[in-house]
Amino acid sequence: MKNQIVRCKCVDMSVEGQGIARAGELVVFVKGLIKGETADVKIIAEKKNYAYGIIDKLIEASPFRRESDCPIAYKCGGCDYRHIEYNYQLELKKQVLKNTLKEYEIKDIVPSVNTKYYRNKVQIPFRDHKMGFYRKYSNDIVEFDDCLIESDIANKIISDLKHLLIGKPYEDQIRHIIIKHGKGSGEVMVAFVVRSLAIDLREECGFLTKYFPSIKSIILNLNTSESNVILGTKEKLLYGRDYIYDFYDGIMVKLSLKSFYQVNHEMMEKLYKRVRELSELNEESEVLDLYCGIGTISLYLSRFCKKVTGVEIVPSAIANARDNAIFNGMDNAEFVLADAGKDMDDYLKDKDVVIVDPPRKGISRQLIDSIISCKVPKLIYVSCNPATLARDLELLKEEYEISPIEAFDMFPHTVHVECLCQLNRKR
Ligand SMILES: C[S@@+](CC[C@H](N)C(=O)[O-])C[C@H]1O[C@@H](n2cnc3c(N)ncnc32)[C@H](O)[C@@H]1O
C-alpha cells in the first residue's frame, strides 16, 4: 500500500489537526487536508487499522481553504491550521472539543484579539548551522525570516542572531535561543541554552543591547544533558536582570526564564476576567489557586476577595509570585512552593473557590480525591488539554455540577485551545 495513491474524502479533523479521510474501509490521516475536501492521497506509512498520507492532488477544495500567508507554512510544524480561514478554524476546534468532551455543552470559542504576532515567547533550536523551527515529526530545522505568530521583536532579534552566530567557532555550544517579550511593558529577555558556561558572548550582547534597548535581560542557561528537556538548572547572567517585568490589567509582574507565563497577552486578560466572573467572589471569599505559576491569576483575583493562596512547583516562579504580591501591595496573596498533586487537604479545607490550571497532563488522581473529600464548594478548571480535562471531569461529575465548557483561542493557526469550566458541588 505504501506509495500508492488513493482517492479520499476528509470526514473530520484529528486532535493533532490532520484531516481524517476515508477511502472505502481505509482511514488515512492526512496533514493539511480539511474536512469536506476530496484529494488523491499518497500513502506514506501503514499501520494495522489506518494509514498516514500526504496530499498528492487536491480534487475538491474546501471553501474555507485559503492560500497560507506564511512562506514556510507547509514545512514548519508550528501552524497546522494556517491554510484555513480563521472563523472556520474556530469551528473545527469547537468540533474537536465536542468530540472529546461529548457529554458537555460547548460554547462558541472566544476568538483571539490578535491572530498575528500574538506569542510572547519563542524557543528556537540551533543546530547544523541553522536557527529555526523543527519540521513536524523530524529534527530538521526549517529556517524563517518572519514567523507570523511570534512577536515582531523576537523575529528581528533572531534575524540578527543568525548573522552574529552562524559560522562562529563556538556556534555548536549553543543549543537553543529563547526570547520572552513582555507585551504590556515592552521588556525583552534573551536566553542562550548552552553546552558550556565558558562561552564568550560579550560582543553579541553588546550588539543586541545597542540595537534593541528593550532587552533588559540576557542569560546563559547550561544544559549538558542529551534529553529533550530544553532548559538546564544552572544560569549565568550576561546582562541586566535575571527577570523582566510585564503588566496586565494594571498589575506589574516579574518573570524569570523558567517561570510559566501565558503566551497570548490579550487572551490571558480575557481568560482571567472570565475566571473571576465564574469564581463569583465577594470580600469574604477565600481562594486557592493551584498550579499558579508566577501568581497571575492569584493577583488578579486578590483584588476581589479576602485571601488567595497560590501553589506552584517551580521555585523561581514562586519567588516571582511573592515579589509580585509585594510590589503590587497585595498583602492578601500568599504563595507556597509545593506539589499541587499531593497532600493538598490542609490547603483545600475551608476554601470557597479552588482554581486549577495544570499543565497538559491534567490534575492527579490524588488531588481529585482530595477535592472531593474536602468538599470544595466551587472549582474552576482552566485546561490547555481537552483530553485530560475530559478524563478529570469524568472523575468529578458524580459530585459536581459541570457548567458548559468555555474556550479561548489563545493559539490561533494551531490546533490548541484553552478551556475553562465551573464545577459546583452538588450537596
Ligand atoms: C498552565 S501553567 C498555569 C500557570 C498560571 N495559572 C498562569 O495562568 O500563568 C501550569 C503551571 O503549573 C506548574 N506545575 C506543574 N506541575 C506542578 C505540580 N505538580 N504542582 C504545582 N505546580 C505545578 C507549572 O510550573 C506551571 O507554572
- What are the tens digits of pLDDT across the range 203-219? 999 999 999 999 999 99
Q: Where are the beta strands (DSSP E) in 260-300?
A: 286-290
Co-location of 277 and 409 in the same domain: yes
Q: What is the CATH number of the domain that holds 387?
A: 3.40.50.150
Are residues 298 and 232 part of one domain? no
Q: Considering its fold, how many domains does the chain have in total?
A: 3
Nearest atom, ligand 1, residue 340 CA:
20
Ligand 1: nearest atom to the Cα of 260 = 27
Ligand 1 centroid from CA 74, angstroms:
32
Nearest-CA residue for atom 19 of ligand 1: 339
Residues 244 and 325 both lie in one domain? no
Do residues 236 and 281 both lie within one domain? no
Judge contact between 411 and 419, C-beta under 8 A: no
Q: Residue 214: what pLDDT?
A: 98
**280 Rama class: left (phi>0) / alpha (psi -120 to 50) / beta:** left
Which mutation among 291, 309, 385 tests ligand 1's pocket best, with the greatest number of atoms within 8 A of CB? 291
At 380, phi and psi to the nearest 5?
A: -110, 120
Atom from ligand 1 closest to the CA of residue 314: 25
pLDDT of residue 371: 98
CA separation, residue 315 to residues 231, 335, 402 (Å): 14, 11, 33
- Which distant-in-sequence residues (6+ apart) come within 8 Å of 348 by Cβ? 288, 354, 370, 371, 374, 376
Mean of per-residue pLDDT scores for the chain: 96
Tell whether 85 is covered by a domain. no
pLDDT band at residue 2, thresholds of 50, 70 and 90? Answer: confident
**CB 314 less than 6 A from any atom of ligand 1:** yes
Residue 240 has pLDDT above 80, yes or no: yes
> Nearest C-alpha to atom 12 of ligand 1 is from which residue?
291
Q: Which one of 255, 260, 297 would you pick to mutate in the ligand 1 pocket, going by the greatest count of ligand atoms within 8 A of its CB? A: 260
Cβ of 246 less than 6 Å from ligand 1: no
**DSSP element (H, E) containing 263:** none
Quote the CA–CA distance of 104 and 85 in Å, as a whole number: 26
Question: Residue 143, Cβ neighbours under 10 Å: how many?
Answer: 16
What is the band of 141 on the pLDDT scale with cuts at 50, 70, 90? very high
Q: Are residues 29 and 136 both part of a single domain? A: no
Query: 126 phi and psi, to 5 degrees?
Result: -130, 110
Q: Are 292 and 414 contained in the same domain?
A: yes
Phi-psi region of 375 (alpha: psi -120 to 50; beta: other; left: phi over 0): left
Q: Are both 162 and 239 inside the same structural domain?
A: yes
- On whether residue 75 sits in a domain, the answer given is no
The DSSP H or E segment spanning 324 is helix 315-327
Residue 358 Cα, ligand 1 centroid: separation in angstroms?
5
Environment class of 301 (CB within 10 Å of its CB; exposed 0-12, middle 13-18, buried 19+): buried
CATH number of the structural domain spanning residue 33: 2.40.50.140
Domain end, chosen from 202, 222, 248, is at: 248
Distance (Å, whole) CA 164 – CA 211: 13
Q: Which of 42, 65, 88 is the last residue of a domain?
A: 65
Confirm or reject: Cβ of 367 under 6 Å from ligand 1: no
In a domain, 116, yes or no: no
The answer on 302 and 204 residing in a single domain is no
According to the model, what pLDDT value does residue 312 have?
98
Asked if residue 308 and residue 192 are part of one domain, the reply reads no
Give the number of the atom of ligand 1 that is nearest the alpha carbon of residue 259.
Answer: 27
Is the CB of residue 296 below 6 angstroms from any atom belonging to ligand 1?
A: yes
Going by alpha carbons, the residue nearest to atom 4 of ligand 1 is 293
3-state secondary structure 44-55: EEECCCCEEEEE
Active site residue 147: no
Q: Amino acid identity of 365? A: R
| Sequence-ordered list of residues with C-beta below 8 angstroms from that of 43, at least 6 positions apart, any chain | 1, 2, 3, 4, 5, 6, 28, 51, 52, 53
Per annotation, catalytic residue among 76, 292, 384, 419 = 384
From 264, 302, 313, 417, the mutation candidate for ligand 1 (largest count of ligand atoms within 8 A of CB) is: 313
CATH of the domain at 200: 2.40.50.1070
Q: Is the CB of 313 under 6 A from ligand 1?
A: yes
SS3 for 39-94 is EEEEEEEECCCCEEEEEEEEEECCCCECCCCCCCCCCECCCCCCCECHHHHHHHHH
Residue 150 CA from chain centroid, whole number: 13
Q: Could you report the per-residue pLDDT of 366-388, keeping only the tens digit for each?
A: 999 999 999 999 999 999 999 99
Kindly compute the dihedral angle of the four CA atoms of residues 132, 138, 139, 143, in this order, to the nearest 10 degrees: -20
Pair (278, 410) in one structural domain: yes
Residues 296 and 396 grouped into a single domain: yes
Residue 366 lies in a domain: yes
DSSP strand pairing (400-402 vs 418-425): antiparallel
CA-closest residue to ligand 1 atom 1: 359
Residue 73's pLDDT band (boundaries 50, 70, 90)?
Answer: confident
Binned at pLDDT 50, 70 and 90, residue 28 comes out as: very high
Ligand 1 pocket: which of 292, 311, 417 to mutate (most atoms within 8 A of CB):
292
How many whole angstroms from 122 Cα to the centroid of ligand 1? 19
Contacts of 227 (CB under 8 A, 6+ apart): none
Q: Is the pLDDT of residue 71 over 90?
A: no
Q: Which residue has the cell 472531593?
A: 372
Residue 75: its pLDDT value, please? 82
Q: Is the CB of 324 under 6 A from ligand 1?
A: no
- Ligand 1 centre and the CA of 34: distance in Å? 34
Q: Which residues pair with 28 in a beta bridge?
A: 21, 51
Closest atom of ligand 1 to CA, residue 311: 21
Statement: residue 135 has pLDDT above 90: no
Q: Which protein residue has the closest C-alpha to ligand 1 atom 11?
A: 291
Cα–ligand 1 centroid distance for 371 (angstroms): 17
Nearest to 124 by CA among 166, 88, 94, 83: 166
Instruction: Kindly state whether residue 45 falls inside one of the protein's structural domains.
Output: yes
Domain-located, residue 101? no
Cα gap 182→91, rounded to integer Å? 30
Question: Does a structural domain hold residue 297?
Answer: yes
Cα Dmax for the chain = 67
Confidence (pTM): 0.94
Domain with 28, as residue range(s), is 5-65
Which residue has cell 498528492? Answer: 56
pLDDT tens column, 284-303: 999 999 999 999 999 999 99
How far apart are the C-alpha atoms of 102 and 204, rounded to whole Å? 52
Mean pLDDT of 347-363: 97
What pLDDT digit, counting tens, does each position of 174-192 carry? 999 999 999 999 999 999 9
The residue out of 217, 248, 279 marking a domain boundary is 248
Structural domain contains residue 372: yes
Over residues 414-424, the mean pLDDT reads 97
294 CA distance to ligand 1 middle (Å): 9
Ligand 1 centre to CA of 388 (Å) is: 15
List Cβ neighbours of 181 (8 Å cut-off, separation of 6 or more). Answer: 120, 121, 151, 153, 154, 187, 188
Tell me: do 343 and 240 sit in the same domain.
no
Length of the chain: 427
